Structure 1
Amino acid sequence: MMTTLYIDRKNLRLTVENQAAVFYENDTRTATVPLHIIERICIKGSLQLNASVLGKLGEHGIGVLVLSGKQQQAALMMPNTKLDARRRTLQHTQAQDPEAALRIAKNLIAEKTERQAQLLRRIGQTALQHAHRLHRPAEQIQALVQAVAAAPDSDSLRGLEGAAAACYFQAWQSFLPASLNFQGRNRRPPRDPLNSILSLGYTLLHFEIVRHLHLCGLDPCIGFYHNLQHGRESLACDLLEPLRPQYDQWAIDLFRQHTLQAQDFSDTPQGCRLKKSGRLRYYRAYEEHAKTWRTHIHQACRRLLNHLCQSTCQPELALGELQLWDNPDAG
């Protein structure tokens, strides 16, 4: 069974010995994890490792995400996966065609907007005291789903997506407890506990998407909704959009079920940050639910690749080889 290994401790050193990840603390061997069960490693803290260790992790197809600095900015080291240049050529061609790119972008944003409306309706159904305050914004967002389908260009589409997001997050203020101090979506840095969790989760899911795009032979940097931008995996940003409402529901439930509470966070000049005890509970809960998200990501990557192949009359690129990735946790 493949898994994600989260490392969040100080004074650790990582080596690779006899097909296993071996951890030392103050030169004392403290833990050993077989490499064949690790799919990805997420590092936060002062872990020591050298270039040869990164190379060995890459040889085993293990992706590494490092969350560093006060704002937990992500640095990514990808394994040496076998890419398909013909698939990327299809992707580049479609991305340069404004009509083709707009069709793909509209599908992504329509799916995201529909799920935002569903989330508000679901909360209204499970918390009846909030139902009357959530009915109207849910209907407003649902109406925007139809407008998205008719958007004439990318600028109009971005305006509709922004309008839906503003309505969506404003509605959150009607049901979230005052202790969370949520006053709308904010980031870089996040200023309240829920925004802190949203930013952290979006970063982790972005990494998951980048990895699956590599496995499917697509270029994470060439998007259809998000434009080219230096240092940004625009296609990963595209595919994250429909997934955000699913993560949002889970993030809200972390607080509603008291897995996390306001006291698990600290306010600093760099923004609202999750304390270590809260991080341990968060990562444990995240990994328990991540299989569902990875399945969704895998399916989204496949759908996009199939669409690109079918629309360019090259269906052979969507068959046979892609069966290698039928198991979303294969790596």
Structure 2
Amino acid sequence: MPTLYVVEPGARIEKEYHRLLVTKEDEVLLRVPLRRVSQVVLVGRVGVTTPALHALLQAQTPLLLVRRTGALVGRLTPAMPRNLPLRQAQYRRNDDAAFCLAMTRAIVAGKLRNQRVLALRILRRRPRERAPLRTLRAAEKGTVQAQKVAALRGLEGMGARAYFALYRQAFDPAWRFEKRTRRPPRDPINALLSLGYTLLGHALMTALEAVGLDPYLGFFHAEKYGRPALALDLVEEFRAPFVDSLVMTLVNKRMLSPGDFEERGGGVYLKDRGLRLFLREFGDRLESRVTTPEVGRPLSYRKHFEVQARRVARAILGQESYRPFRAR
């Protein structure tokens, strides 16, 4: 079921029977059956009526309010029974150094593997300098022997530098993408990556909460006030196959152009048309079906997020070792 993104400034979500309406100045911009919506995201200056809020809560459909950069302002979620024994086990595991090391090893190895898969795709189309690929492979192999979380973080950083040296080769120099920059993004590619990673984190927060986990207590990312560390843990293995490949598609198929961006506040951000297109394509990617070696049948990315959240839960409960998402 798709995510409904509402971007139009001054628009409002209303309820009509079993449908949601997007209206502006008494004009209906969109009608959609409530049962077809899995999540509603309001971007910027968009409102919602009380009856619509009640309908979303009754349907157990989360509502997110985000800024145009993707930064989360707040979330409205239905009351759900919390899995107290699971959360207690999660808090205990956070103090278990051996468990944190095993989780970090799996997360970093999964991220590096998925980056290598996308890097190979890039090199098949644009065969250039392959030294960064060797570095990426070495970092991935190094995760097997690493005995400290700090060492794994170092391998993750080494792999990231090598990966982005290859990833930038996927784009025409006119896009001015030289390296990863954020807070604020300094060029259009970084603007897309930052927005995509932020939205990905929101989707993974929802998946973790659905299985009863605390998205703010992670094992790879250190706890920091207001930061959903466990959601960010899972973001790592989905960055390359989900966001990075989506950005390549939008840019290289010329669905977006440099004219869809503007400089603002020292950074570069999407204008209205580009933001609408990106959110639509991001939502479509959430529902696109992919097959992994572990699952063996096609599932939407949204379902894969739930699968990974349940794998984290089973690992916390000692039922199995954590297995990261592996892209083909």
TM over 0.5: yes
Question: 1:306–1:14: structure 2 CA closer, same or farther, 3 Å change rule?
Answer: same
Tell me, in whole angstroms, the C-alpha distance in 2 between the residues paired with 1:3 and 1:57: 14
Of 267, 271, 278 in structure 2, the residue corresponding to residue 275 of structure 1 is 271
Deviates more, 1:143-152 or 1:213-222: 143-152
In structure 1, how many angstroms separate the alpha carbons of the residues matched to 2:28 and 2:122? 48
Instruction: Give the equivalent residue in structure 2 for 1:75.
Output: 73
Counting matched residue pairs gives: 307
**Relative to structure 2, which stretch is displaced further, 28-37 or 136-145?**
28-37
**Residue type matched to 1:45 in 2?**
G
In structure 2, the gaps of 5 or more residues are: 288-299, 322-328
Are positions 1:185 and 2:180 aligned together?
Answer: yes
Cα distance, 1:205 vs structure 2: 1.0
Deviations 1:156-189 (A, max 9, x none): 1111111111111122334421111011111111
Question: Kindly tell me: are residues 273 and 87 of structure 1, through their superposed partners in 2, closer, same or farther at Cα, counting changes over 3 Å?
Answer: same
Structure 1 residues 312 and 262: CA distance shift in structure 2, 3 A: closer
- What SS does the corresponding residue of 1:173 show, helix, strand or coil? helix
C-alpha distance in 1 between matches for 2:238 and 2:19: 33
Correspondence for 1:310: 318
Aligned partners of 1:144 and 1:160 also within 8 Å: yes
Pairing of 1:138-153 with structure 2 (within 5 A)? 138-153=133-148
Contact 1:193/1:273 (CA < 8 Å) preserved in 2? yes
Q: 1:206 to 1:136 in 2, by over 3 A?
A: same
Aligned residue number for residue 25 of structure 2: 26
In the TM superposition, what is the alpha-carbon distance from 1:29 to its structure 2 partner? 4.5
Distance 1:116 1:249 in 2: 10
- Distance in 2 (CA, whole Å) between partners of 1:258 and 1:32 is 29
Displacement of 1:309 in angstroms is: 2.3
> Which deviates more from structure 2 when the two are superposed, residues 277-286 or residues 221-230?
277-286
Cα RMSD, aligned residues only: 2.0
Question: What code does the residue aligned with 2:79 have?
Answer: N
TM-score by length of 1: 0.86
- Distance apart, 1:225 and its partner CA: 0.4
Which residue number in structure 2 is paired with residue 262 of structure 1?
258
Counterpart position of 2:224:
229
Where do residues 284-299 of structure 1 align in structure 2 (5 Å cutoff)? 284-291=280-287, 292-299=300-307
Q: Which amino acid aligns with 2:154?
A: G
Deviation at 1:208, TM superposition (A): 0.8
Are the equivalent residues in 1 in contact too, given 2:22–2:29 (CA < 8 A)? yes
- Report the CA distance between 1:31 and its aligned residue: 3.8
State the match for 1:318 in structure 2: none
CA contact (8 A) 1:118 1:138 kept: no
Q: CA deviation at 1:312?
A: 8.9
Q: Which amino acid aligns with 2:315?
A: H
How far apart, CA to CA, are the structure 2 residues paired with 1:274 and 1:24? Answer: 23
- Contact 1:82–1:215 (8 Å) recurs in 2: no
Alpha-carbon distance, 1:52 to partner: 5.9
* Structure (1/2) with the larger helix percentage: 1
- For 1:83, what is the secondary structure of its paired residue? coil
Q: CA deviation at 1:50?
A: 4.8
1:153-164 matches, cutoff 5 A: 153-164=148-159
Match of 2:127, SS?
helix
* Percentage of pairs with the same residue: 28
Q: Supply the distance in 2 between the matched residues of 1:219 and 1:119 (Cα, whole angstroms).
A: 31
Distance in 2 (alpha carbons) for counterparts of 1:145 and 1:200? 26
**Separation of aligned partners in 2, 1:271 and 1:312:** 44
TM-score (normalised: structure 2): 0.87
CA distance, structure 2, for counterparts of residue 120 and residue 219 of structure 1: 33
Counterpart of 2:73, as a letter, is A
CA distance 1:68–1:173, change in 2 (3 Å): closer
* Residue 270 of structure 1: how far off its partner (Å): 4.1
Residue 220 of structure 1 aligns to a residue whose secondary structure is: coil
Q: Which residue of 2 aligns with 1:252?
A: 248
Q: CA deviation at 1:238?
A: 0.3
What letter matches 1:305 in structure 2? A
SS of the residue corresponding to residue 16 of structure 1 reads: strand
- Pick from 168, 171, 176: which aligns with 2:166? 171
Q: Take 2:320 and 2:176, find their aligned partners in 1: how far apart are those partners?
A: 49
Q: Distance in 1 between matches of 2:234 and 2:30?
A: 36
| Amino acid across the alignment from 1:142 | R
Q: Are 2:33 and 1:12 aligned?
A: no
Does the C-alpha gap of structure 1 residues 132 and 29 become closer, same or farther in structure 2, counting only changes over 3 Å? closer
Look up the match of 2:44. Answer: 45
Query: How far apart in 2 are the matches of 1:141 and 1:32?
Result: 47
Instruction: Compare 12-21 and 103-112 and name the one that shifted more.
Output: 12-21
